[in-house]
Structure 1
Amino acid sequence: MISIVGPNPHQVSYQNLLDFSRLRKQEFVDRLGWDLTHTESAEWDEYDNPNALYAIAYENGKCVGGARLLRTDKNTPRKGSSDLTFMLADFLAGRLSTSMSDEDMKATISPSPEIWEMTRFVGSPKVTKALLGHVNGYLALLGAHSVLTLSPRLMPIALKRLGYSVNVLSKPIEFDGKEYVALQTLIQQRSVRNTRITAKVPTKRLPAEHLQAPAEIAAVL
């Protein structure tokens, strides 16, 4: 059985974040060979900041998937450098090492409290279905309209099979020999069951300043 902690920050423990960072290292660094900041056992980047929320999946006590969420209108100040916005916008602005530019886009993306970005998504097809449904339910409760991702080129087909409406925002872009597209997946505004699902994992918590969502929220590269 798959159980999920988050995205409510009060559900996410320090151990949950460690588990997810280890899984990310296994997936993105060890398996895909991406040149990312990492230690021997964990991967993280500058978007793992106080504005980020996490949904982390477990099966039989083992971390098997997860995703990071950022609201697109929430900037993160950086001393001596431009503010971080969200990953796709920073790609397009040339603030990250990539060849992606505005010329690759079919539509303009404007930051909005109703538009979120999902990055560092990891999960098998079974885990993906559970995670997406869980995240959709949480964001629907917050009144979100859609989620942005940079996903494998064929991902729109899989998302549509799961019942999601998807807009392709860019032409295919090559990263490390594979093609990706920017997507906007609409939130399904359906009646949502209780999204407070927790896994049986250690409950040591981060200090409140690292976990607290912005007051107005508090509730795949």
Structure 2
Amino acid sequence: MGFPKKRRDKELTTANATVRRRLPYTEVKVVHPNDDPKALIPEFHRLRKRVFVEDMGWQVPFDEDLEIEQYDCAETVYLIAHDTKFGGVLGGARLLKTTHVSADETTSYMIRDAYFGRLPGIPATICRETPPLDDDVWELTRIISFGQTNLGPKILQAANDFLAREGARTCLFLGSPAFMRMARSMGFQARALGPIHSNEDGRYLAFSCDVFKPHPGPVH
């Protein structure tokens, strides 16, 4: 296993343009690992590998053409942006309830595991206080939204709608400062859980948003 070199910015610009053209036909689907008749989840893992490993140069392990890790499990819920006209996955994210514990009891969820020093590369200072274990608190990670399109708001809106139906109170995020600003622009009261950190992959932080019931106004 190796890590490909980071691809050029020109390819990211092309990806943004492609998503903008196909956005009118894009629907964000809630997909569970045990109910994925169109095999959208493997396609999302392939997109993650292209974006995070090839485009952004993240030093994360991958299996052939898939970027997949311990937080991709039977309990994970995926929000997948799917082109309903031409086909193909254009973006997405994953959700995991904060009460999740792996079968061998070594893994919980990303923010909590980082806080307890279990994730090399993400410092324990990601949060100022101990991250919760709570049935009505979920975590959203691995978002692919392409910053120059309106895909991010569609994914966040879909996440809020799903969490509201599930009776969730709060969602925790591990993402970029730009993603937190986007959430605030949509009316979410995003609160930083710790400082902004930086590494060779970019700037990131943990933050939280309360779930809207009903959801905020439509995304235009």
TM-score for the superposition, normalised by structure 1: 0.78
Match of 1:65? 91
CA contact (8 A) 2:49 2:65 kept: yes
Q: 1:104-150: CA deviations, max 9, x gaps?
A: 53343211011101111111331111111111111101110111111
Q: 1:188-208: CA deviations, max 9, x gaps?
A: 11069xxxxxxxxxxxxxxxx
Match of 1:92? 115
By relative contact order (CA 8 Å, sep 6+), the higher-ranking structure is 1
Specify whether residues 99 and 117 from structure 1 end up closer, same or farther in structure 2 by C-alpha distance, changes over 3 A only.
closer
Residue-pair matches, total: 188
Specify whether residues 50 and 142 from structure 1 end up closer, same or farther in structure 2 by C-alpha distance, changes over 3 A only.
same
The residue type paired with residue 40 of structure 2 is: N
CA–CA separation in structure 2 for the residues paired with 1:94 and 1:14? 37
Q: 1:65-95: CA deviations, max 9, x gaps?
A: 11111000121122xxx42100111111111
Q: Show the 5 A alignment for 1:108-123.
A: 108-123=130-145
| CA drift at 1:175 | 2.7
| CA drift at 1:154 | 3.1
Specify whether residues 77 and 189 from structure 1 end up closer, same or farther in structure 2 by C-alpha distance, changes over 3 A only.
same
Match of 1:83? 106
CA–CA separation in structure 2 for the residues paired with 1:99 and 1:18? 26
CA–CA separation in structure 1 for the residues paired with 2:143 and 2:178? 15
Specify whether residues 93 and 187 from structure 1 end up closer, same or farther in structure 2 by C-alpha distance, changes over 3 A only.
same
Match of 2:214? 190
Match of 1:101? 124
| CA drift at 1:10 | 6.1
Structure 2: give runs of 5+ residues left out of the alignment: 1-24
CA contact (8 A) 1:67 1:118 kept: yes
CA contact (8 A) 2:115 2:130 kept: no
CA contact (8 A) 2:80 2:93 kept: yes
TM-score for the superposition, normalised by structure 2: 0.78
Q: 1:10-45: CA deviations, max 9, x gaps?
A: 653361111101110011000111112213421100
Aligned identity (percent) is 25
Q: 1:35-66: CA deviations, max 9, x gaps?
A: 12213421100111111111111123121011
Match of 1:217? none
In angstroms, what is the RMSD of aligned CA positions?
2.0
Specify whether residues 83 and 14 from structure 1 end up closer, same or farther in structure 2 by C-alpha distance, changes over 3 A only.
farther
Q: Show the 5 A alignment for 1:171-210.
A: 171-176=195-200, 178-190=202-214
Match of 2:8? none
CA contact (8 A) 1:6 1:12 kept: no
Match of 1:214? none
Match of 2:51? 27
Match of 1:52? 76
